A and B are shown apart, each in its own frame.
Chain A
Amino acid sequence: MKNLRWIEIAAFRGFGESSRIDLDADSVVITGANGSGKTSLIDAITWTLTGTVPRLEERRERRTDDVVTNRYMRGSVPRVTLAFSGSDGSDVEATRELTAGASSVAVRINGELVRGGDESLARAMGFSNHAELSYAVETWGVLHQDSMRAVLEARPEEFQRRLREILGLAALDSFESWIKSECKKAADEVKGARERLAQATRAASAARANLESIQQRKEQAVPVADARQAFVAATERAAPAVRLAIPEASEPALAALLQEIRRLQVDISRQQSAYAAAAEALAATEARLDVDPDALAAATASARAAYEDVQLRYEEAEIAVADFRRDLEGLAALAAAAIPHLGPTCPVCGQGIDAHEVRTHLDELLDSSGQLTALQALEEKGDQLRQAAQNTELAVGEAGRAERAVREWQQEISRLRAERAAHEKWFASLAADDALVPVTVDGLTGKGTAEVIAMLRRLEGALQHWQSALADQALELQESAERVRLAEGEAQERLLQQEVERLAASELSLRSLGSAATEAVVSVTGQWLTELNPLFGAVYNRLAAHPTFTELGLEHDVYYGKGRTLPRVYDRLVEIGDNPQIVCSEGQLNIVALSYFIAFSLSAGERSLPFMIMDDPLQFMDEINVLGFADLCRHLRSERQVLVTSHDRRFARLLERKLRPRSEDVESLRLDFVSWERAGPRIEAARQAGEQAHVMLKASA
């Protein structure tokens, strides 16, 4: 089968100058040393069809890195044109360029440029959109040597996705999801209905309890007239100490009176306490005031007069002492001055002087012992007077303080008397109240007020009783309303109970349908896998990867409520199936991966591509594997155009020999990447035209 016809590559990856390469054959074997440009050719095909090279995308160091432009052609526009046969047999040429970091594709069909870029390219390849084409190219169109194992190492979800694409499992998955979502909705509805039922049950229970309470109250209810009469009687008993006007029989009037009675109790109690406190303080103060304040004032005045008299005499004595002392001191100083001047004659009159006598006289004067004694007596007298003045002063101070204290007590007594009078006045004011009159307070001892308060309490009780009787009058209406509410609640409860049962049954049914759906999806997938698995096995069997695990397939099961698909290898002689990644060697795993790739590609149905490109799939194979692979490729090329690269020239040669056309309508091509230089690879092409194979047995016949 032919599809890709030629490719022209410029400034792309390992290709520098523009190079056109023939691909127009059923099988193309591409050989060349490592780094000769083989993989660049595969990348060019991938890039043209998808606009990306996924394996290079992962290697970007920066988001803006250009990973496709040839490093020796910077500034040039990388451009690849791929010519192929469209799904309707038309000649298609797709030219992809990278300009300003963005790739774009121009598509010509039978020489005519068509609009639509990538989408047109996808439609030309027989796909409904470019995303589908890209997925097909990356998943079962091109097998890169460095992503071969990724086929196998894909998580179960990825296998599931591939199967979904191949088998059209999307509808099954959607159905399973839809059923699960319906189950969840049903469960939510049941939950909601149960909550509403619980609410209705609570409301009905509350109505039932209310009704019972109303009925009990009705049984115990007192007629309003009796209650009023009891209150009137209580009022009469309270009179005349308390006189009340009987209010009208209405709830607001009774409530207002009740409030007034309670307030009055509090006020009387408070006033009585305050009055008692004031009276007690007054009595205590009066008890302390046991002296006559006027007599105290007279005593103070007398003490002050005595003090002033003593003070006067003391001051006179002090003056006398000072005079006497001054005279005495002058005389002594005169005598002391005269003594040195004594001579035989008087310096004044010239008479003779008995100096001895004069000196003696003067010495006596100086001695003055008699005078000094008198002075000392005078001074003692002065001290006594001063002491007496001080004592008198203290007495005056004491008398003044006592007088001030008495005055203060007199003021306190006046204040307490005023306070007591205010309380008495308040109690007196009650008498002026038409409605409520405590007649006597019994000398303000509290006895009377206690009785009044007790009366008020009795009146309060009677009034409450009357109030209650008045309220009970509405019980009939309440009972009737509560009966209606209860009936409605019970009806609602019954309806909701039915709804819960209906929804729960529906949920149960949906849940079992959901389980059946999950099993059904597994069953359908399993049935379809049963038809696919022989192909997986047939591909794997030819490659002779493992001596005992000789069959390959996929298993589908449900894990934690989710479908998943797992790769499996089987040893049918002992009926063992296991994960190839566990039981196979690394080399064998590559062959397992290659088998899955080829089988997926062959199974893809309407999502298949007309070519299959394998980049160096032989690198991990031994001779037996390569022989098997070569045999496989002979058959593959009748289904798909096959492009295989290999760096191993011996295996490539073997492959080329095996792929030699055996009929006239088949052609094979060998592209030998002889060398690589900065301008790009040097390629030599060798075409083998088809010729009819010779069958020995026919010749013998």
Chain B
Amino acid sequence: MSVDYTQHPLTLEAETVLRAAAFETARVALPASGAGVLVAEDRFSAAAILGVDVWGTAASAIGDIGTDFANWAFDRDPREKQWDLYLVILIATPVTENDQLVEIEAVVADTRYLRRLIRHGVSTGTEPPNVRTALAPLLPLSLPARVSDRDPHRALVEALRSQGVDADLAERTVQRFIERAGGG
């Protein structure tokens, strides 16, 4: 029985995240298993994304889906992406049972044909996006703003005010510090 994973909320949010990171995406019905997966691809990698509620849903099918996706990719370009195929399973429910954790570890350790990434306890609609963290290995690095360019004195004044110090006193104190102590 073929399963369509493309409409799972996790898959849908993953598509949004990946497209925002300049991935091409497509819903693909894999030829052998008939499973419906989201395929996302950029110049570095191609990944099949499956969203499920619990580990049990994916556990039995994951082997076939992996092979099926690898074959699908090889049919299209055996040269470029053969080292960069990923099968990403996003599981809504956290996995806490040891047996299941051991199963997941074994699946992840299997690097034949493609790399298998399994993320459990993933929820949608969080800020920052939980799904984005789960997909991090595929995404470009997002560097923080240049914090060293910020004005530490202004930040101090704000922080002092938030500590209940009178705004004028905070301003005068930091100003006095800048004048008398050279400000750092």
Contact = CB atoms under 8 A, between A and B. Distances in A.
Interface stretch (B6-14, B29-37, B58-66, B75-83): B75-83
B41 A534 contact: no
Contacts of B167: none
Given A171-B153, A605-B149, A624-B111, A531 B144 contact: yes
B120 to A, nearest CB: 8
A198 B173 CA distance: 32
A700 B147 contact: no
Contacts of B3: none
Contact of A170 (B120, B162, B164, B184): B184
Contacts of A517: 156, 160, 173
B163 A166 contact: no
Given A178-B181, A516-B164, A542-B137, A696 B142 contact: no
Given A175-B184, A534-B144, A606-B146, A699 B111 contact: no
Interface in A562-580: 572-573
Nearest to A635: B141
Interface in B147-184: 147-150, 152-153, 155-156, 159-160, 162-165, 169, 173-174, 177, 180-184
A662 interface: yes
Given A172-B152, A547-B105, A535 B144 contact: yes
Contacts of B109: 624
Contacts of A634: 44
Interface string A655-685: 0011000110000000000000000000000
B149 A174 contact: no
A697 B39 contact: yes
B133 A697 contact: no
B83 A658 contact: yes
A175 B159 CA distance: 13
B121 to A, nearest CB: 5
A642 to B, nearest CB: 12
A663 B181 contact: no
A540 to B, nearest CB: 10
B59 to A, nearest CB: 17
A523 B94 contact: no
Interface in A512-566: 513, 516-517, 519-521, 523-524, 527-528, 531-532, 534-535, 537-539, 541-542, 544, 547
Nearest to A535: B144
A627 B140 contact: no
Contact of A527 (B105, B153, B155): B155
B128 A534 contact: yes
A516 B163 contact: yes
A542 B44 CA distance: 15
A524 B141 contact: no
B41 A178 contact: no
A631 interface: yes
B17 interface: no
A523 B159 contact: yes
Nearest to A693: B43
Contacts of B54: none
Contacts of B133: 537-538, 541
Nearest to B148: A605
Interface residues of B, number: 63
Contacts of B68: none
Given A516-B165, A696-B73, A174 B184 contact: yes
Contacts of B137: 541-542, 544, 628, 631
B111 A638 contact: no
A695 B136 contact: no
B103 interface: no
A657 B111 contact: no
A549 to B, nearest CB: 13
B55 to A, nearest CB: 13
A482 B184 CA distance: 55
B142 A535 contact: yes
Given A174-B183, A699-B76, A169 B111 contact: no
Contacts of B46: 696-697
Nearest to A540: B136
A694 B45 CA distance: 10
Given A542-B137, A547-B101, A639-B143, A657 B83 contact: yes
A1 interface: no
A700 B79 CA distance: 16
A416 interface: no
Nearest to B155: A524
A173 B156 CA distance: 11
A604 B41 CA distance: 31
A628 B115 CA distance: 10
A700 B26 contact: yes
A477 B160 CA distance: 61
Contacts of A663: 43
B42 A695 contact: yes
Interface in A109-149: none
16 contacts: A167-B147, A168-B152, A175-B177, A513-B173, A534-B128, A534-B144, A537-B133, A538-B142, A541-B136, A603-B144, A631-B138, A636-B141, A696-B77, A699-B76, A700-B26, A701-B24
Interface of A: 166-175, 178-179, 513, 516-517, 519-521, 523-524, 527-528, 531-532, 534-535, 537-539, 541-542, 544, 547, 572-573, 602-607, 623-624, 627-628, 631-632, 634-636, 638-639, 654, 657-658, 662-663, 692-701
In the A-B complex, the 7 residue pairs with the smallest Cβ-Cβ separation, listed nearest first, are: A171-B184, A520-B159, A693-B43, A605-B148, A516-B163, A171-B152, A174-B184
Given A175-B153, A534-B142, A606-B149, 6 more contacts: A167-B147, A171-B184, A603-B143, A628-B137, A654-B83, A696-B46
